[in-house]
Structure 1
Amino acid sequence: MKAHRLQIACPGASVETVVEDPGRELAGLALIAHPHPLHGGSLDNKVAYTLARAALARGYLAVRPNFRGVGASTGAYDYGIGEARDLVAVAEHLAAQFGYLPWTLLGFSFGAYVQHRVAREIEARRLVMVGPAVSMYDFGAPAVPTAIVHGEEDELIPLAAVRAYAEAHAVPLHTIPGAGHFFHGKLVPLRTLVEGLLEP
């Protein structure tokens, strides 16, 4: 596996991005969004890292940008709007280098909200939302085939709210018993579940 740390120019920001190559023929491209940047979220978040490991295990190029204002990314927090624009720009930049392989979008918490917006702007095979903050942001109907992974004991985003969203939009909901919002002690079952969702 090869890992590279890049600075990708986006409108209004320069986005620090870690790109990891599984070292074999690529099954696709995976864009991974971390949790809220004003609450400690970064590309090094353990859930974002776990999503990257799941993607790599399935042969995807794993792309983890830092949202604007985080790490070496410039710019300032923009309520998910500018962040989504940045991820679209990152996707367009990398797609040109990798033969326009299909994108899979993965996002955790606030990152799921950002990816929900990104899915309206780029051609993506699927969206996997982990712990999506549906009780905090206006998600609306998903634009691409979508799956949700949620902790049964999530203390920040009530499972009932996620279940209501999933039922309203016919989105498959996968729960992890005993898992809170940050999946403490549950990263292995999270990775296993997501790997299953990423099967071709």
Structure 2
Amino acid sequence: MNVHTKKSLIDGPVGKIEIALDEPDGAVRGIALVAHPHPLFGGSMDNKVAQTLARTLVQLGYVTYRSNFRGVGQTQGQHDEGVGERDDLLAVIAHMRARPGHEALPLVLAGFSFGTAVISHVARMLAEREQSVERMVFVGTAASRFEVASVPENTLVIHGEQDETVPIASVFNWARPQELPVVVIPGAEHFLHRKLHILKRIVVEAWH
């Protein structure tokens, strides 16, 4: 992502997990984890939307991690339809929490596309363990393709108006029973080409 990005390997449930770490220059307000799009369709932690989310969270003061799902980059294991991937992200969060001074910092979870489905279940699993999440950010929520769990009411949901990969109607159908607002970027498709600056602005403004 930038010259300061630190990549490393940590132990996961089925082998090594490749992670990337970016840190804010100033005061730390929390820790964040960004989950990338579908591994079988070229998704990785270097995806531009995932990078934009990470860069924005770093700017907001979060020590931000990204990780590659199974079979991507140097992460070991095989794609598990988003199930085993939940355990992998829990392992990454445990690694994040193990850092001295970070045990009790607020946690933000962000995801793009397939990553939103995995993150939604991770948040639910954390809640069952009485571990809180400060806020969640979903971009291109994969509601038409996967079971996306219900999310807290302060979750920021962002979607492209002209998304053909995940039709916006499916996101409204998922959000409606939860009375969850959806921020729509006019003219944007799934990967938000030429709209990443708008994504960044929406996230920053949501924090202020």
**TM-score, normalized by length of structure 1?**
0.94
SS in structure 2 of the partner of residue 121 of structure 1: helix
Q: Which runs of 5 or more residues in structure 1 are unaligned?
A: none
Identity among equivalent pairs (%): 43
- Cα separation, 2, equivalents of 1:18 and 1:80: 20
* Deviant stretches of 4+, over 4 Å: none
1:198–1:114: structure 2 CA closer, same or farther, 3 Å change rule? farther
> 2:193 pairs with 167, 181, 184, which one?
184
SS in structure 1 of the partner of residue 183 of structure 2: strand
2:108–2:135 contact (8 Å) kept in structure 1: yes
Determine the structure 2 residue equivalent to 1:99.
103
Q: How far off its partner does 1:23 sit?
A: 2.1
1:104–1:125 contact (8 Å) kept in structure 2: yes
Q: How far off its partner does 1:100 sit?
A: 2.7
Q: How far off its partner does 1:143 sit?
A: 5.2
1:119–1:143 contact (8 Å) kept in structure 2: no
The within-5 A match list for 1:29-40 is 29-40=31-42
Equivalent pairs, count: 199
Q: How far off its partner does 1:121 sit?
A: 2.1
Cα shift readout 1:67-92 (whole Å, capped 9, x = no counterpart): 11100111110111111110111001
Determine the structure 1 residue equivalent to 2:129.
none
Q: Which runs of 5 or more residues in structure 2 are unaligned?
A: 127-131
Q: How far off its partner does 1:147 sit?
A: 2.1
| Bigger proportion of residues as strand | 1
SS in structure 2 of the partner of residue 165 of structure 1: helix
**TM-score, normalized by length of structure 2?**
0.91
1:13–1:86 contact (8 Å) kept in structure 2: no
Determine the structure 2 residue equivalent to 1:86.
88
- Cα separation, 2, equivalents of 1:185 and 1:86: 32
- Cα separation, 2, equivalents of 1:77 and 1:144: 30
